[in-house]
Structure 1
Amino acid sequence: MPEYLAPGVYVEEVSFRPKSIEGVGTSTTAFVGPTRKGPLTETPVMVTSFGEFERIFGGLENLSFSAAADEDPQKTNYMAHAVRAFFDNGGSRLYIARTFVPRTDGGGAVSSTGIAQSDLVVNAGGVRVRLTARMPGSGLNGRVTVTEKAVPVTAATLDKAPLGSLLRLQSTTPQAAVLMGGSPPFSLNDGDQLTLTTAAGSVSISFHGHPAEIQGDVVADPVDVPADTVLRVTLGGLDQAVPIPAGLTTLTDLAAFLNTRLRRGYARVEGGTRLVLGTDVRGTGAMVTVSALAALGFGADQSAVGTGNVANLDAVTVAEIDALLQNAGMAVRATTDPATGRLLLSTTETGTSAALRAEETPARTALGLPAEEARGRAAEGTVYYVRRSPGASGWVGGSDRATPLNTSTPLPAGSALILMNLESRDADNTVRVYEDVGFSPLHPRWIGSVMAQRPSRRSEALQNPYALQVEGDVHPFDLRQGLLGSGTSRDITLRGGNDGAEPTNTSTIPEAVAYTDALKLLESIDDIAIVAAPGYSDTAQYSAIQQSLIAHAENMRYRIAVLDSPPGVDMQEVREIRGAIDTTYAAYYYPWVMVSNPLSRPGNDRIPQEIAVPPSGFVTGIYARNDVQRGVWKAPANEVVRGAIRLEREITQAQQQVLNPLGVNCLRFFPGRGFRVWGARTASSDPEWKYVNVRRYFIFLEHSIDRSTQWVVFEPNGERLWGNVRATVSAFLYNQWVSGALLGAGPEEAYFVRCDRSTMTQDDLDNGRLICLIGVAVLKPAEFVIFRIGQKTADARA
């Protein structure tokens, strides 16, 4: 209890009402049996539509349980048809526990694992690589199409490529040694020198540029500038008129004033007596013109141009650099990289003997040239590089697979980052696409991760049914060559997947999942209320499998098994089979249902247009539909069987009079009312548990109370707890009575709840037992509706 030690206000939350009981779901179903593909040994997968079942477990195509029939399977895929019937008849949640028994030879050894594998085994540099299905099944025989994706790349974008990227260079002619510089134009200083060293030796070029200047005559001191004097000058092609204010008496003051007004040029004083006007531009492109102004020493109109070997030292072009190189007689040419616009210095010599290095000078820095030496390349054809680490030196490859890529030189035309796109298509035409997949384990989307043998998440294994098996460390170049060869696209076929042998109740074969194994997997799922094994009754061990189904339902307590009669049996055979079982946790249905065969094709009489399928798929869907529309307490009978076109055997009224008392629930046809489930009995001889709805309603009550009263454990076992338990259960049962699930005109007739000293002895209390007695008046179905009619006379009284 809380402690109150310091003065203050304490606000506490308390409950003045009993705990509530939430009803559990009753329509969640589980199917056990063979499918064309899908997981085996993991927790069974829930599907909520037939389309989802097809994607994970395969479609409606036939199965084959022998190698001789693999090319033309004839075994109806009962599981897939039952799943479709389940959802067509109102089911919404279905767990699938798949069975698979590998095929064996005469000595009992496994002759086929049933797993589809690629017929192409890539020998990638001594490492074996192959594509394989993750799980057995004929549904995973398929094809994986590998298509090369070439992403154009330049030296400027190369640094953004992720680790593990594969780069392809196509070099069909010898390559020159190339240095890549900055982006033109360049700004240099007069006299800056560039020294380039080639295989033939070192040669230097210098950059020169001087401004255009006009020097005036000697001007008297002080300067006498008349009023309204205007200096007219053209600097760098810009005409300017500068009014000279009065009061400027020295050339120094006059030059300072002009420098605040002139654009593209300057004014300075030479020798203290002459005014000089010059351009900002340094080089042969500079020009200055001044109109006659005697007051400033310019007796006549004058003009001048700059000098040097470039037009503008502050904007040196690539063409000017190339001209200086040619004038110096150097076997190097200056060009512009068409992809980036940057300066390229290339030797005229090509091949491995070509070399080019820019020595350390101010001009090298100004032009943005690297310090590393560039080497020419031989005509290697197509070579690959892979990015092993960040930075420019992280690309390694070439013909020897160890040469670092010179990222300071431009890439050859057609250079590209190589990725692949994958498209897998299984036998059910389920297509999955994987884009931008890499060849190296360093790549963020390496094929070995995208198609991993053991994905970290289960959803990946379900969505990506194929895996890449790599038996060692594979080189990206070898993997690309092995998957694509000399082409850019390749289809890799996966064969060998099969449906194994006919499923059995138990099996000692390695990797086998028999019916008992699959049922064991269902034990970990708490919300399953209905279990069935569509098609088990058409196997050699159907009797043993049937007993396993019953045992599973009885052991789990809160489930009921829906049993199928074998196909093609007559009434006497059904009676004998039904006579071999006695359980309140199962219901037996007869006969099988005929449906349209979705595999039939016009003109192909070998494929029947109608096929017989077990009734359990339809019945379990009807169970779920009945629970949602009415309630679990209503008998799941007199309900339409959706999807049926006829029954394997037509059951008459006389025949059902024999079968119904035995607990054989018949499916019948009624003119004008269609095909209906016409029976609601369990496979039990105990009259107290004769009806399916009674058993299922008690499962619902017991499971709901069990799950919602776990809070009672370890509570103080006294009157307060007993009252709380009574109130909790009574409130739950009252709601059941109000909803019409219980018989009785009032709650006192519908149920009772006792939990007090009358239900527990002192020995029970001493041993920690709380005993609550609950009685409910459950509704039984009106199985026999009798109207007694007689004659009466006109004066007779009722």
Structure 2
Amino acid sequence: MPVTPTYPGVYIEELPSRVRTITAVSTSVTAFVGYTSRGPVDQAVTITGFADFERQFGGLAAKSPVSYAVQQFFLNGGSIAVVVRVASGARAASVELPNSSSDVDQPAGTALVIRAKEPGAWGNGLRVSVDYATRTPNETYNLRVGGETFNDVSPDPEHPRYVVDVVNASSDLITAEPPAGTDPRLRPDPVGTVSGAFGAELPAIPDEDLEVKLRGGTETFRTRVQGEPGNLVALGLALEQALRAIPDQPGTRTFGAARVTPMGNRLQVVSGSDDPATVLEFSGAVATALNLNASPNVTAYAVGGEGGQAGEDGGLPGPTDIIGAESAKTGLHALRDVEDVNLLCLPEVCGYPTIDQQIPVLAAAERLCVDKRAFLLVDSPSSWDTLNRARAELPRLDPVRSDHAALYFPHLEQVDPLTGRLRAFPPCGAVAGIMARTDSGRGVWKAPAGTEARLAGTRALTVPLNDPENGLVNPLGVNCLRSFPVIGPVVWGARTLDGADALASQWKYVPVRRLALMIEESLYRGTKWVVFEPNDEPLWAQIRLNVGAFLNSLFERGAFQGVSSREAYFVKCDKETTTQNDINNGIVNILVGFAPLKPAEFVIIQIEQMAGQIEV
């Protein structure tokens, strides 16, 4: 800030730099849109590894090409992905937790509604347990689901640990809702069998066997409660040891993993069965003494089970589901709010029965990529099982020919981890991973193809190609995947869909188009400081300095042609580009040019036989 001199001496004043750094944006953040077994619907979720995908979207699923594409993306070098789950008619599983007692002078009814946080059949596997083993067993309770535990929660909305607030604020699996039309202060019944209340002195245990049956079964199991427990904790431990002494059926842990928990002045007995409907029923003199022959409850409440709504995955998304609605930002349009998306993969689309069904989705995706300065990776239709068929049906993709898209043929043959068998997969996920790996190691200006672009995990290709066959489709803008001895399967093409020889497009090559997109987006973000600045020569000089510094950094890394910066790029911003009329209208025009590197697609080696030399 300006210094006001008041005494003789030296004053130090710091001045702001005129250089504003322009940073190159990301080039390989890849978006995947389609069906997954779980996850939020029509929301863009950023993940940084396949473990993230497994946690949030359920991992590999046989009906989910997206899940395999994401796995191949990270396997081939990808680092950041954005996943949008699309589900058609999916429904979330739920269960109503009952209160069947009136020990708090309240009528019986539904105490709490538990619902899977996301739609899909995955929610049917959730199991909820309830117990009253808290510091205030007559007022609060513990709720457990999956690996999540919510201790000391209360059904009272005025309580600081109100169950609905606690669960909804921290659970990744479920949401809790108060019951409609009933008193919200009801507590759910604890699972298992709960004994009657014990007094200050424990009852004497008869010298007889405790009789146990499984509800619906005919066999009676007998065991002996050993010792003379002096307190409720010791009694619970003795009862648990007695139950665990009962032999289990092979492969089950109904008795071997049984649990007995003190809850205030009561005991809760829960079987160790994986089946939530397994119920232990006690009888005999010992059960009467311990008051264990009351109404037993289930081992756990099954979300989506009896009395609840079953979760459904819904039908596989069709073209309209993938496209979605721009106004509601569903389907593809969920990506519009994501700042960094560079590549777009739609691995389900190639599996649609006809190309006519694929065209509308690819067209919508291409328009999105133009708006977002992104690049679309198009999988060849799965019906292209021969080269001749690919050549015959390629003209049907003419409506989606674009310099913002590239087509890859054929599909990959890899081992399906779920079955151990070879299976064909769309190549877009693996190609996106190779692009990310190439960008990181060499730069976005390097073609993501060649002997370095090996397809990890690929055993073979659905259509093997040789050089002459490759030469039939390469001039048409088709990027082939090839397999070479020793090297293995690789990407062997780097043309956009606008790169057919007949079109003579300036955006013929993938690296040229992607480099331009990176420069455009970097300058778009890096020149926002210009807005509302005084529009005159000092501003223009700053723009030339800042944009020139950015382009020079790319030149030094080998992004452009030429041996000098003058040959590689130029930045023009002066009174020739910005006239007085532009200034009056608040416009500043910046002209940027660059000389892109183009891949050495055809290597021609000329060999000449030397004639004999005459020595002089």
Query: Is TM > 0.5 for Structure 1 vs Structure 2?
Result: yes
User: Does the 8 A contact of 2:97 with 2:110 survive in 1?
Assistant: no
Out of 71, 95, 99, the residue aligned to residue 118 of structure 1 is 95
1 CA distance for matches of 2:85 and 2:38? Answer: 9
Calculate the TM-score normalised by the size of structure 1: 0.57
What is the CA-CA distance between 1:643 and the residue it aligns to?
A: 1.4
Out of 357, 363, 368, the residue aligned to residue 552 of structure 1 is 368
1 CA distance for matches of 2:613 and 2:348? Answer: 63
What is the CA-CA distance between 1:591 and the residue it aligns to?
A: 1.4
Partner-residue secondary structure (3-state), 2:489: strand
Tell me the residue number matched to 1:680: 494
Tell me the residue number matched to 1:83: 70
Moved more, 537-546 or 700-709: 537-546
User: Does the 8 A contact of 2:477 with 2:495 survive in 1?
Assistant: yes
Aligned AA (1:522): L
1 CA distance for matches of 2:614 and 2:582? Answer: 64
User: Does the 8 A contact of 1:132 with 1:467 survive in 2?
Assistant: yes
Tell me the residue number matched to 1:611: 423
Which deviations, in whole Å up to 9, do the C-alpha atoms of 1:214-233 show, x marking residues without a partner?
Answer: xxxxxxxxxxxxxxxxxxxx
How do 1:218-229 and structure 2 match up within 5 A?
none
Tell me the residue number matched to 1:96: 83
What is the CA-CA distance between 1:596 and the residue it aligns to?
A: 0.9
Aligned AA (2:30): T
Structure 1 residues 6 and 88: CA distance shift in structure 2, 3 A? same
Residues paired across the two proteins, number: 488
What is the CA-CA distance between 1:783 and the residue it aligns to?
A: 0.7
User: Does the 8 A contact of 1:148 with 1:488 survive in 2?
Assistant: no
Tell me the residue number matched to 1:576: 395
Partner-residue secondary structure (3-state), 2:78: coil
2 CA distance for matches of 1:524 and 1:7? Answer: 56
Tell me the residue number matched to 1:53: 53
Structure 1 residues 126 and 114: CA distance shift in structure 2, 3 A? same
Structure 1 residues 508 and 629: CA distance shift in structure 2, 3 A? closer
Identify the structure with the greater strand proportion. 1
Greater C-alpha radius of gyration: 1
What is the CA-CA distance between 1:56 and the residue it aligns to?
A: 0.6
1 CA distance for matches of 2:189 and 2:326? Answer: 39
How do 1:454-469 and structure 2 match up within 5 A?
455=169, 460=170, 463-468=172-177
- Show structure 2 runs of 5+ residues with no match: 101-106, 195-267, 271-298, 305-309
What is the CA-CA distance between 1:522 and the residue it aligns to?
A: 0.8
Partner-residue secondary structure (3-state), 1:528: coil
1 CA distance for matches of 2:6 and 2:181? Answer: 71
Aligned AA (1:715): E
Tell me the residue number matched to 1:222: none
What is the CA-CA distance between 1:740 and the residue it aligns to?
A: 0.7
Aligned AA (1:150): A
1 CA distance for matches of 2:538 and 2:417? Answer: 63
Partner-residue secondary structure (3-state), 2:480: strand
Tell me the residue number matched to 2:290: none
Tell me the residue number matched to 1:420: 142
User: Does the 8 A contact of 1:115 with 1:136 survive in 2?
Assistant: yes
What is the CA-CA distance between 1:536 and the residue it aligns to?
A: 1.8
Partner-residue secondary structure (3-state), 1:584: coil
2 CA distance for matches of 1:774 and 1:701? Answer: 10
What is the CA-CA distance between 1:731 and the residue it aligns to?
A: 1.2
User: Does the 8 A contact of 2:126 with 2:302 survive in 1?
Assistant: yes
Aligned AA (2:66): M
1:480 matched to 2:188? The reply is yes
What is the CA-CA distance between 1:464 and the residue it aligns to?
A: 2.8
Identify the structure with the greater helix proportion. 2
User: Does the 8 A contact of 1:32 with 1:515 survive in 2?
Assistant: no
Out of 322, 341, 352, the residue aligned to residue 528 of structure 1 is 341
Tell me the residue number matched to 1:38: 39
Partner-residue secondary structure (3-state), 1:657: helix
User: Does the 8 A contact of 2:2 with 2:13 survive in 1?
Assistant: no
Partner-residue secondary structure (3-state), 2:300: strand
What is the CA-CA distance between 1:117 and the residue it aligns to?
A: 2.4
Tell me the residue number matched to 2:525: 707
User: Does the 8 A contact of 1:593 with 1:647 survive in 2?
Assistant: yes
Partner-residue secondary structure (3-state), 1:650: coil
Tell me the residue number matched to 1:166: 137
2 CA distance for matches of 1:577 and 1:494? Answer: 47
1:628 matched to 2:440? The reply is yes
Structure 1 residues 60 and 728: CA distance shift in structure 2, 3 A? same
By relative contact order (CA 8 Å, sep 6+), the higher-ranking structure is: 1
How do 1:251-266 and structure 2 match up within 5 A?
none
Partner-residue secondary structure (3-state), 2:115: strand
Calculate the TM-score normalised by the size of structure 2: 0.73
Structure 1 residues 5 and 733: CA distance shift in structure 2, 3 A? same
What is the CA-CA distance between 1:122 and the residue it aligns to?
A: 5.9
User: Does the 8 A contact of 1:664 with 1:683 survive in 2?
Assistant: yes
Tell me the residue number matched to 2:167: 451
Partner-residue secondary structure (3-state), 1:479: coil
Moved more, 624-633 or 539-548: 539-548
Structure 1 residues 624 and 595: CA distance shift in structure 2, 3 A? same
2 CA distance for matches of 1:482 and 1:149? Answer: 7
What is the CA-CA distance between 1:31 and the residue it aligns to?
A: 0.9
2 CA distance for matches of 1:543 and 1:467? Answer: 42
Which deviations, in whole Å up to 9, do the C-alpha atoms of 1:38-59 show, x marking residues without a partner?
Answer: 11244x1111111111111112
Structure 1 residues 547 and 514: CA distance shift in structure 2, 3 A? farther
Which deviations, in whole Å up to 9, do the C-alpha atoms of 1:237-264 show, x marking residues without a partner?
Answer: xxxxxxxxxxxxxxxxxxxxxxxxxxxx
Tell me the residue number matched to 2:274: none
User: Does the 8 A contact of 2:481 with 2:489 survive in 1?
Assistant: yes
What is the CA-CA distance between 1:149 and the residue it aligns to?
A: 5.5
What is the CA-CA distance between 1:537 and the residue it aligns to?
A: 1.7
What is the CA-CA distance between 1:150 and the residue it aligns to?
A: 2.7
Tell me the residue number matched to 2:225: none
Tell me the residue number matched to 1:191: none
Question: CA RMSD for the aligned pairs?
Answer: 2.9
User: Does the 8 A contact of 1:515 with 1:545 survive in 2?
Assistant: no
Tell me the residue number matched to 2:232: none
Partner-residue secondary structure (3-state), 1:770: coil
Tell me the residue number matched to 1:778: 596
What is the CA-CA distance between 1:147 and the residue it aligns to?
A: 4.8
Which deviations, in whole Å up to 9, do the C-alpha atoms of 1:697-744 show, x marking residues without a partner?
Answer: 011111111111111112111111111111111111111111111110
Aligned AA (1:90): G
2 CA distance for matches of 1:514 and 1:615? Answer: 31
2 CA distance for matches of 1:657 and 1:505? Answer: 33
How do 1:199-278 and structure 2 match up within 5 A?
none
Structure 1 residues 27 and 543: CA distance shift in structure 2, 3 A? same
2 CA distance for matches of 1:695 and 1:577? Answer: 23
Which deviations, in whole Å up to 9, do the C-alpha atoms of 1:279-330 show, x marking residues without a partner?
Answer: xxxxxxxxxxxxxxxxxxxxxxxxxxxxxxxxxxxxxxxxxxxxxxxxxxxx
2 CA distance for matches of 1:634 and 1:508? Answer: 31
Which deviations, in whole Å up to 9, do the C-alpha atoms of 1:643-681 show, x marking residues without a partner?
Answer: 111112212222221211111111111111011011111
Partner-residue secondary structure (3-state), 2:602: coil
Structure 1 residues 121 and 599: CA distance shift in structure 2, 3 A? farther
Structure 1 residues 736 and 512: CA distance shift in structure 2, 3 A? closer
1 CA distance for matches of 2:17 and 2:586? Answer: 26
Partner-residue secondary structure (3-state), 2:400: coil
Out of 640, 645, 661, the residue aligned to residue 459 of structure 2 is 645
- Show structure 1 runs of 5+ residues with no match: 63-75, 103-112, 152-160, 168-385, 387-417, 425-431, 602-608
Partner-residue secondary structure (3-state), 2:339: coil
2 CA distance for matches of 1:686 and 1:514? Answer: 37
What is the CA-CA distance between 1:611 and the residue it aligns to?
A: 1.7
Partner-residue secondary structure (3-state), 1:701: helix
What is the CA-CA distance between 1:766 and the residue it aligns to?
A: 2.1
User: Does the 8 A contact of 1:37 with 1:136 survive in 2?
Assistant: yes
Out of 490, 500, 506, the residue aligned to residue 314 of structure 2 is 500
What is the CA-CA distance between 1:561 and the residue it aligns to?
A: 1.0
What is the CA-CA distance between 1:549 and the residue it aligns to?
A: 0.8
1 CA distance for matches of 2:313 and 2:530? Answer: 49
User: Does the 8 A contact of 1:584 with 1:683 survive in 2?
Assistant: yes
What is the CA-CA distance between 1:6 and the residue it aligns to?
A: 6.8
Tell me the residue number matched to 1:596: 415
1:538 matched to 2:509? The reply is no
What is the CA-CA distance between 1:61 and the residue it aligns to?
A: 2.5
What is the CA-CA distance between 1:792 and the residue it aligns to?
A: 1.4
